Amino acid sequence: MAKASSIYVCQSCGATASRWAGRCDNCGAWNSLVEEAAAAPLPGGVRPRAGKGRRVELVGLKGASPVPARLRSGIQELDRVAGGGLVPGSAVLIGGDPGIGKSTLILQALALLARRGEKVVYVSGEEAVDQVRLRAERLGLSDAAVLLAAETNLDDVLTTLGDAPSPSVIAVDSVQTIWSPQIDAAPGTVSQLRAGTEALVRFAKSRGTTVLLVGHVTKEGQIAGPKLIEHMVDAVFYFEGDRGHHFRILRAVKNRFGPTDEIGVFEMSDGGLAEVENPSGLFLGDRSAATPGAAVFAGMEGTRPLLVEVQTLVSPSTLGTPRRAVVGWDGSRLAMILAVLDTHCGVGLGGYDVYLNVAGGLRIREPAADLAVAAALVSSLLGAALPADSVLFGEVALSGALRPVAQGEARLKEAAKLGFKTAVVPEAAKSEWKRNPPLALHAPPDLRSLVRWVQSFGPATGRPREAGPAPARSIAGA
């Protein structure tokens, strides 16, 4: 039987239960409930009485407030994601999969800050001092005056920091290793994570120090994930990337001092993380000549335009239910495009397996990619390669109509800068540009016209697939 003073806390979502269960009722995670001590009641069973509070001053919206000063790390991709630099006294969570490069990013940022004369402290709870030193040496940062400690005890960390004049930046790597002896729970549990974060955030606010918290994304629910502390910090950045690729993306998902949706692009090399100033060039870098099934999407990531290649493969299916495999895009959005192509354009892909991949391992979240996806699908089906120097963007409605999307001008400019000659955009978007667009526009009024445009490039000759039994490929009514 459970002790009266313990509760069971899901390490994945933080829900509590009075009894252990194999599966969390709230989030459905398996084997994620861990016994923790319940919060201690107030001494003597007293409850705070209502109506005894202090009178607070109510003020208007208008008033002179100082603009927060920014602490620039010198890593421009990081500073931009933060909204122009780190804000003193703020708490920033940097989440990401284990091994993605969080510690590397933190160490590089701290070292650059130290070289600029800032006092910075690196508390490593995962790696020993020697390991961090070795890494610093490999990155050529040993000379930077970063103060280093390998420590996980929260009280010891706070005492150490409390004695000295406050540093400008403290990094705690990772916050999941930090534990407080006053809390009766194992390190890495929800109670410990919350208590550690709360204490460090309080330290940041009271001392005007920027606190960087590293948090590992966990899937198994054995240690509590960074999602649980997102609400406690001022800014949340996720470090993403594909292990198979070298580039990494720092994405702001919450920021009280700057815009969200902003991304920073890095490349992981032998010498650590390098900034990528021209991400479109990186994602389109290994693009060869025009091939059927590929289309270049002119997308936006935050305030920055980003060109990526959408690759599709449509092949006759031998399965009862054809396969739809999507990497880097939304599967239900693909289903919608397939349905619109079928219903409004007579392009039926019911008998085909459909594979969709966003080149370079990037994840696209914009509906603006609809047009590029539709064109790539038809291009693959027909074996008709789109012109290599064309980009596409626009949203497809369920009616088959094409809708303009925001920030068309920035997308066009980026495409022109990278040497593209034609942009395929929804017709309605044309009237939005006051000035002459920097490249030739093709503006189909609906999806059916787009299909006809793709069809005009005809099947490529000498395609390898023609060696096999040729499937009937026709488009009715287009």
Answer for which of 90, 104, 357, 380 binds ligand TYD (CB under 6 A) is 104
- Kindly tell me which of 141 and 372 has the beta carbon lying closer to ligand TYD: 141
**In sequence order, what E strands does 374-435 have?**
390-392, 395-396, 402-403, 422-424
Smallest separation, CB 104 to ligand TYD (Å): 3
Paired residues of 37 in beta bridges: 6
Per-position x/- string for 67-96, each x denoting binding to ligand TYD as judged by CB under 6 A, each - no binding: -----------------------------x
Per-position x/- string for 130-149, each x denoting binding to ligand TYD as judged by CB under 6 A, each - no binding: -----x--xx----------
Q: Is the previous residue joined to 180 through a cis bond, with omega within 30 degrees of 0?
A: no
Segment near ligand TYD (CB under 6 A), from 34-42, 117-125, 265-273, 404-412? 265-273
Smallest separation, CB 216 to Mg ion (Å): 8
* Residue 99 makes contact with ligand TYD by CB under 6 A: yes
Smallest separation, CB 269 to ligand TYD (Å): 6
Q: In what order do the strands lie in the sheet with 6-10?
A: 16-17, 6-10, 33-37
User: Do 211 and 235 meet the contact criterion of CB atoms below 8 Å apart?
Assistant: no
The residue number with the shortest CB distance to Mg ion is 103
Smallest separation, CB 371 to Mg ion (Å): 40
Transcribe 125-182 into DSSP letters.
SSS-HHHHHHHHHHTT-TTS-EEEEE--BHHHHHHHHHHSPPPSEEEEE-GGG-B-TT
Residue 130 binds which one of Mg ion, ligand TYD, none, with CB within 5 to 8 A depending on kind?
none
User: Do 317 and 291 meet the contact criterion of CB atoms below 8 Å apart?
Assistant: no
Smallest separation, CB 100 to ligand TYD (Å): 4
Cβ-Cβ contacts under 8 Å for 368 (sequence gap 6 or more): 297, 299, 300, 393, 394, 395, 405
Answer for which of 10, 78, 81, 100 binds ligand TYD (CB under 6 A) is 100
Short-list 181, 172, 164, 147, CA closest to 91: 172
Cβ-Cβ contacts under 8 Å for 314 (sequence gap 6 or more): 293, 349, 352, 353, 354, 355, 377, 380, 381
Whole-angstrom Cα distance, residue 379 to residue 350? 16
Smallest separation, CB 139 to ligand TYD (Å): 6
* Residue 103 makes contact with ligand TYD by CB under 6 A: yes
Smallest separation, CB 183 to Mg ion (Å): 24
- Kindly tell me which of 80 and 216 has the beta carbon lying closer to Mg ion: 216
Per-position x/- string for 404-443, each x denoting binding to ligand TYD as judged by CB under 6 A, each - no binding: ----------------------------------------
Dihedral over Cα of 339, 342, 347, 350: its sign:
positive
The distance of Cα 381 from the centroid of its chain, to the nearest Å, equals 32
Whole-angstrom Cα distance, residue 57 to residue 191? 34
Smallest separation, CB 327 to ligand TYD (Å): 22
* Residue 272 makes contact with ligand TYD by CB under 6 A: yes
- Kindly tell me which of 293 and 361 has the beta carbon lying closer to ligand TYD: 361
Dihedral over Cα of 282, 285, 287, 289: its sign:
positive
Answer for which of 98, 140, 162, 445 binds ligand TYD (CB under 6 A) is 98
Residue type, 172: V
Paired residues of 23 in beta bridges: 30
* Residue 241 makes contact with ligand TYD by CB under 6 A: no
Query: How many CA atoms lie less than 13 Å away from 410 in the CB half-sphere?
Result: 12
- Kindly tell me which of 250 and 307 has the beta carbon lying closer to ligand TYD: 250
* Residue 177 makes contact with Mg ion by CB under 5 A: no
* Residue 103 makes contact with Mg ion by CB under 5 A: yes
In total, the chain counts a number of residues equal to 478
Q: Give me the residues that bind ligand TYD (CB under 6 A), please.
A: 96, 98-104, 135, 138-139, 268, 270-272
Q: Give me the residues that bind Mg ion (CB under 5 A), please.
A: 103
